Amino acid sequence: MNTRILPFALTAAVLVAMAGITGVSAEPPAQPVAKPAPAPAPVQETPVLVGPTTRDKVEAAPEWTLAEVEARPEADASRQLAEVEPGAEVVVFLGTWCGDSRRELPRLWKAMDSGSGAVNFQIRYIGVDHAKKEPADLVKEYNVLYLPTFIVRRGGREVGRIVETAPNGIERDLLALLTGKATGVLTTRTDLVPASPPPPQG
């Protein structure tokens, strides 16, 4: 036997023996099995109120209360809302699911509460579904297209409405409609504001 090969063969035999003793194998070690992540907790959605409702029911959702805390109505207009001449009615169409409703209504409530807490006009709340179709009779009767819609009535007839976003702040625009300083549609929507009449011909 060749004496040169012997040390190599011996070394190889020792290495193979050691591999068997230490548990080293040609196969990679098994990877630990990952456990599936737990399912996320279901999100609590604000219940969709449909039909006549109350401020208390709408405010029951925490996000509505938070919006009221964060609202910053104008102090002077807030105070003047309490001094409006009696006899008006405000009908508010809202979506408990609607971000615009959640912005405008809590601001109005904070304005009313920061005045005297009482107003001389009647206010009614009507919840509307996501499709803005229900309650069908009231949505159709008042021609509601967007939410929120604040309809001001005196003597049984509509004097004006605020649709979706009050251009000057809900407390100021509602005050203007209630006192007769404004009429018609107050909104930031360009599709609801009547176009300017064409210039005279000639």
- What's the longest Cα–Cα distance across the chain? 124
Q: What is the pLDDT along the chain (202 residues), one digit of tens a residue?
A: 555 554 555 555 555 555 554 554 555 556 666 666 666 555 556 679 999 999 999 988 888 877 777 878 888 988 999 899 999 999 999 999 999 999 999 999 989 888 666 788 999 999 999 999 999 999 999 999 999 999 999 999 999 999 999 999 999 999 999 999 999 999 999 998 665 445 555 4
Ramachandran sector of residue 90 (left: φ over 0; alpha: ψ -120 to 50; beta: rest): beta
pTM for this one? 0.72
The conformation of residue 50, written as its DSSP 8-state character, comes to -
CATH number corresponding to 53-187: 3.40.30.10
C-alpha pair distances (Å), 88 with each of 119, 129, 190: 10, 26, 27
Q: Decide: 51 and 135 in contact? Cβ < 8 Å.
A: yes
The domain segmentation of the chain, as residue ranges, is: 53-187
